[in-house]
């Protein structure tokens, strides 16, 4: 925070930073969701196993939930615009973004599990899915939380 930045300016800056950060995640989830919407219409989808079918459906639902949570701060901002509620808007939007990123990580892990199962099956599914889930957990949450604990 700049020495001459007052509380309102800080809130304005933090909200702009949050909305800019969401601009990175939203196109990713939109592309993933679009991909998932096309999968059932491919010829190969008729040959999926029950595990693949459930993995696909859970992944699709996670992508939809992640989309809703990650886009919600923009909607919240529009609906509450000029209502003198910026601090609560920032708190709520931050929570929505964190939850949306968590569900996005689950969706992306689900896609890796699904594709790995189609290609390789068996133990490779567990290895690939576990590795991707751990990567998301560490880089998206573990690393910043460990830094926060150090502070």
For the chain, how long is the longest CA-to-CA vector?
63
- The answer to the question of residue 12 being in a domain is no
State residue 133's pLDDT score: 97
Structure-model confidence comparison of residues 116 and 16, the more confident one: 116
pLDDT tens, residue by residue, 7-17: 888 888 888 88
Structural domain harbouring 122: 21-39+48-143
Average pLDDT over residues 87-102: 92
- The answer to the question of residue 64 being in a domain is yes
- The answer to the question of residue 110 being in a domain is yes
- The answer to the question of residue 7 being in a domain is no
User: How many whole angstroms separate alpha carbon 108 and alpha carbon 25?
Assistant: 12
Q: Are 62 and 113 in contact (CB under 8 A)?
A: no
User: How many whole angstroms separate alpha carbon 108 and alpha carbon 110?
Assistant: 5
Listed in sequence order, the residues at least 6 apart from 30 whose beta carbon sits closer than 8 Å to its beta carbon are 67
User: How many whole angstroms separate alpha carbon 59 and alpha carbon 119?
Assistant: 17
Number of domains, the chain: 1
- The answer to the question of residue 5 being in a domain is no
State residue 2's pLDDT score: 57
SS3 helix, strand, coil % of the chain, rounded to 5?
A: 85, 0, 15
- The answer to the question of residue 148 being in a domain is no
- The answer to the question of residue 60 being in a domain is yes
Residue 3 confidence class, pLDDT cut points 50, 70, 90: low
Look up residue 137 and give its DSSP letter.
I
SS3 81: coil
């Amino acid at each position: 925070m700049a020495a001459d930045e007052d509380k309102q300016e800080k809130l304005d800056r933090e909200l702009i930073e949050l909305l800019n950060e969401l601009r990175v995640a939203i196109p990713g989830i939109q592309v993933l969701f679009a991909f998932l919407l096309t999968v059932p219409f491919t010829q190969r989808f008729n040959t999926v196993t029950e595990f693949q079918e459930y993995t696909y459906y859970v992944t699709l639902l996670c992508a939809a939930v992640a989309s809703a949570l990650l886009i919600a701060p923009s909607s919240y901002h529009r609906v509450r615009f000029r209502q003198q509620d910026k601090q609560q808007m920032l708190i709520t939007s931050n929570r929505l973004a964190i939850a949306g990123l968590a569900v996005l990580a689950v969706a992306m892990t689900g896609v890796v599990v699904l594709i790995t199962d189609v290609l390789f099956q068996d133990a490779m599914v567990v290895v690939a899915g576990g590795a991707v889930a751990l990567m998301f957990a560490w880089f998206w949450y573990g690393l910043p939380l460990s830094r926060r604990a150090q502070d």
